A and B are shown apart, each in its own frame.
Chain A
């Protein structure tokens, strides 16, 4: 039976839809192996002493939240566990809301953490790399107020924080430009502040060269797999772990599609020859 290209496409879409939906409704609970990249990011946060001020930058928008939001929640939770004071910043306009949502979710398990004392959302600032450079010189000049309109000087946890050098590490959850690369180029290379973070699976191969002996990047969480690995390291059963089942099935299905496509092409070639 010869199917038209449109019919084939419809079959592919329908099968993929079912294959992704089923594991989300009925989770399988497959485990993933923790990669060195994720372990390195985890170690950086784990080894940072208590009460240190850290930056988590929300450099993404809702389009990539499926991959990046579980990472941000896991990293905030880890920082809270270690009693770090978390500054949220955003180089993307929608990052502000993403940060608020991540905080509100993690706060359900950490109700004792208070805004201003344990975490703060400084909001969005336009300018990308230049903004980070300016933060290196003076944080209050770039962020005079937080998203609650509280002046920088009146936020208790920022009492001893004047510039980027005063933070213990920076974690950028990034889905493009500006993002992790800009943080690394300025904060790490110019001010020697350790930088780690996470990105979408599709952009991860471009960042792996920076995880090197010079520690330009302290590890990297790549896509949903990175997020689920991080969740398993901190002992959190988050959304990434559940979604990994669906992603594994989808990957397997894509392999089946590739094999089917090749068999079809091979048959067509033989038919042509004969």
Chain B
């Protein structure tokens, strides 16, 4: 029963949603509208589940003093701090349990939650993403080596696209006459993106699309059951 019920639900819901695409009239459109609302509510609970999981995992690591437990403590404290500030004084125009905290907001320039978001979370988050540039530079130096025909082709394409996507590309071949404008580096880069790249991307997208149709049918028909947990 524990396994049959979810399978029946998946089948019924899957068939209704599928039918509603072909018969967008009553009662299918009404049922689908209700199902959409259910989905949004369940997704909301998924966020809550994620937070509970975050607290459990981090508490476990801190309690057992696992390697780098200090980082987990910092993460948990940051989470708690944002949660408490948000609950007490709210964020932006939304008041919290203690109102809008006009006194604190006057001192900080904004509510504590917004202040931390702007001055701590945003720069930290952007910094972490920006670190990628350093890794890419280092990886390009070590791994982008010409070894054969394919890697040579890849290298030439990459160089054209890299230069074409900067102001330098415009400067390098900007002097070319109109009859040779195809060889202008930004135009070459656009050509690579529009034709070889798009062709390859389309092939990938079509394959992925077919894959999604296949796996969706497998789930609806109960052949694929891994989402129930533990089943192969």
Contact = CB atoms under 8 A, between A and B. Distances in A.
B201 A208 contact: yes
B141 A208 contact: no
Contacts of B40: 125-127, 130-131, 134, 142
Nearest to A34: B186
Interface residues of A, number: 62
Given A201-B165, A245-B167, A127 B39 contact: yes
B167 A244 contact: yes
Given A63-B128, A63-B129, A247 B166 contact: yes
21 contacts: A16-B134, A62-B121, A64-B129, A65-B126, A93-B47, A97-B118, A126-B43, A127-B39, A134-B36, A208-B197, A208-B201, A209-B205, A223-B165, A244-B166, A244-B167, A252-B168, A255-B162, A255-B163, A257-B140, A258-B158, A261-B141
Interface string B31-58: 0010011011001101100000000000
Interface in B141-185: 141-146, 155, 158-159, 162-163, 165-171
A63 B171 contact: no
Contact of B201 (A32, A133, A209): A209
Contacts of A35: 186, 190
Nearest to B47: A126
A37 B107 CA distance: 46
A254 interface: yes
Contacts of A20: 133
Interface in A31-60: 31-33, 35-36
Contact of B166 (A13, A149, A248): A248
Main secondary structure of the interface of B (DSSP, over half): helix
B117 A97 contact: yes
Interface string B109-144: 000001001100110011011100110111011111
B166 A100 contact: no
Contact of B93 (A64, A66, A148, A258): A148
A26 interface: no
B94 interface: yes
Contacts of B162: 251, 254-255
Contacts of A223: 165
B92 interface: yes
Contacts of B216: none
Interface of A: 5, 8-9, 12-13, 16-17, 20, 30-33, 35-36, 61-66, 93, 96-97, 100-101, 125-127, 130-131, 133-134, 137, 141-142, 147-149, 201, 204-206, 208-209, 223, 225, 244-245, 247-248, 250-255, 257-258, 260-262, 265
Contacts of A101: 118
B165 A61 contact: no
B198 interface: yes
B137 A257 contact: yes
Nearest to B130: A66
B137 A254 contact: yes
A20 B134 CA distance: 11
A32 to B, nearest CB: 5
Interface in B32-90: 33, 36-37, 39-40, 43-44, 46-47
A262 B146 contact: yes
Contacts of B193: 204-205, 208
A12 B36 contact: no
A261 B167 contact: no
Closest 5 interchain pairs by CB?
Answer: A30-B167, A248-B166, A63-B129, A62-B125, A257-B141
Given A205-B197, A208-B193, A13 B167 contact: no
Given A9-B138, A262-B146, 16 more contacts: A12-B134, A20-B133, A32-B170, A33-B169, A63-B128, A66-B126, A127-B36, A131-B36, A134-B40, A137-B29, A147-B94, A205-B193, A205-B197, A209-B198, A251-B163, A258-B158
B202 interface: yes
